[in-house]
Chain A
């Protein structure tokens, strides 16, 4: 569909309008996201109805999990539990407020990690684009980096960080968590940015060469804008993995205040209060969606660079 308004208005500097189709796509995506969550809840209840309480067995082997209220509490019980106080102690905050403040903590740490990881990923990709040798030398290490278990890294990072004192700056525990989150986030950004930087067709690259444009100039005016359709999904994926990284890092470094820690502490009451840990797990999953959603907002201002993506 051609945008009639744009075709008829020959205004010189008119920025490309976000096309109606794209705007409705944003609305639809939110709707689809909500529907997906509802569907998941419905599936959860369906499993509870269909599968016997004791789980499914094939001879001696258990093939389906137990579905009694202790193992799989009803969705409405989980929702209800969220609104109740955390503990029976007087003045205890509700689970909701405890989770919200934990999510806020984790989100900030994850975003800090995402920022560091994304900048690092972009620089690494630029380096690899600049020198073919760097690409051949670094790509295996980039891939290898993702096979190192985070849990093994966490104590090391905390240990190194603990020794950093520069003037009044002192390494905080949350910084270790953010650093580990960035370690997960940099991977999709590096790969996406590298593909994006290499995406301009030969005709465009040679045009810049014919203009005797420097590498920096070519990067800024050609490769970076051309990489936007590749970068946005990579940044979104990076945000989701940063949240996962932050949660795992919180758990393995024993950092207090975040949702990761909350999952562990709620899990300890699982036998008596099964809805509580599930609530925290759901919150962690939603947090990932929120982080990815926040990053998607970046794309709204970049409509003109996303021609290839929205076509």
Chain B
């Protein structure tokens, strides 16, 4: 069964100054275990699409299912984990307690929670910071806590909305490498919103390119850079080729390869 199935999904935001069509005619299938990046300029509706999948908003038209269920059922069944651009950690909770939050909200026992939190913190490399409070961590570390939290319930779908958007380039690349590893280990499907082309290419198996006004899918670029993706891949010709392909899809015209701007 596919993780996400969208058929003709549209979303209209009504406001006093008139209706804004955020999404129109979105058809998208994300297979179980597949990593899909949504990329596009601001206002193309990529975050809106993610919010529809997460049932934080409801689609105006079309049909959207998550593991064959409605988004609401999937949310209530905790089929997905979610991470936003802001880590959104609770400042009064320790790192451990923040990671445990989803488990605590669903009545998982204390011992099991502690065990799972330990596991997750070592997964994101924060074992030594379990008892710290969020304000004692750097932005990158906070984001890693948020990712650990999104994995707490072993979701088979991860929804990520520019989770590395606020990080510096070096931290960002390290986090991307870690995310590839984490996803390979957990086998979860991922829908990853970004506006960085290299990030989308490095992480995903398919890059969904979107265009604004109204938000639509303009192209889908398959990227197959293999399961093991290390730092070396960033210098590889296949990586540059995929970046070029996505850039061309994004701009709608072939771009000359000279003076390639990786951002």
Tell me the A residues contacting B by CB distance below 8 Å: 2, 6-7, 9-14, 16, 201, 203-204, 206-213, 217, 221-222, 225-226, 228, 304-305, 307-308, 311
Could you tell me the distance between the alpha carbons of A204 and B96 in the complex, rounded to whole angstroms? 17
Query: Assuming the A-B contacts A207-B82, A305-B92, are A10 and B56 also in contact, with contact meaning beta carbons closer than 8 angstroms in the complex?
Result: no
In chain A, what residue has the closest Cβ to B82? A210
Segment at the interface with A among B130-138, B197-205, B213-221: B130-138
B105 near A217 with CB under 8 A, answer yes
Residues of B within 8 A of A14 (CB): 131
B86 within 8 A of partner (CB)? yes
Give CA–CA (A127, B85) in the complex, Å. Answer: 31
Whole-angstrom distance between the Cβ of A224 and the nearest chain B Cβ: 10
Which residue in B55, B105, B130, B132 is a CB contact (below 8 Å) of A208?
Answer: B105
Q: Which residues of the other chain, B, contact A212 by a CB distance below 8 angstroms?
A: 75-76, 78, 105
Determine whether the beta carbon of B54 is less than 8 Å from that of A10: no
- Residue pair A2, B136 in contact (C-beta under 8 Å): yes
Residues of A within 8 A of B94 (CB): 12-13
Instruction: Give A214's nearest chain B residue, CB to CB.
Output: B105
Q: In the complex, A16 Cα to B93 Cα: how many Å?
A: 9
If over half of A's interface residues share one DSSP class (helix, strand or loop), that class is named, otherwise mixed; here it is helix
User: Dominant SS at the B interface?
Assistant: loop
Partner of B128 from A10, A201, A203, A307 at Cβ < 8 Å: A10
Size category of the binding interface on chain B = 20 to 34
B86 and A201 contacting across the interface, CB-CB below 8 Å: yes
Q: Which residues of A contact B105 (CB under 8 A)?
A: 208, 211-213, 217, 221
CB proximity of A7 to chain B, nearest CB, Å: 6
**Residues from chain B with Cβ under 8 Å of A206 in the complex:** 56, 82, 84
B91: nearest residue on chain A (CB-CB)?
A: A307
Q: Which of B87, B129, B133 contacts A10 (CB 8 A)?
A: B129
Which residues of B have CB within 8 Å of A9? 131
Interface check B88, CB cutoff 8 A: yes
Q: B33 on the interface (CB 8 Å rule)?
A: no
Assuming the contacts A210-B56, A211-B78, asked whether A13 and B131 have C-beta atoms less than 8 A apart, the reply is yes
With CB as the reference atom, state the residue of chain A lying closest to B76. Answer: A212
Name the residue on A nearest B102 (C-beta): A211
B residues near A210, Cβ cutoff 8 Å: 54-56, 75, 80, 82
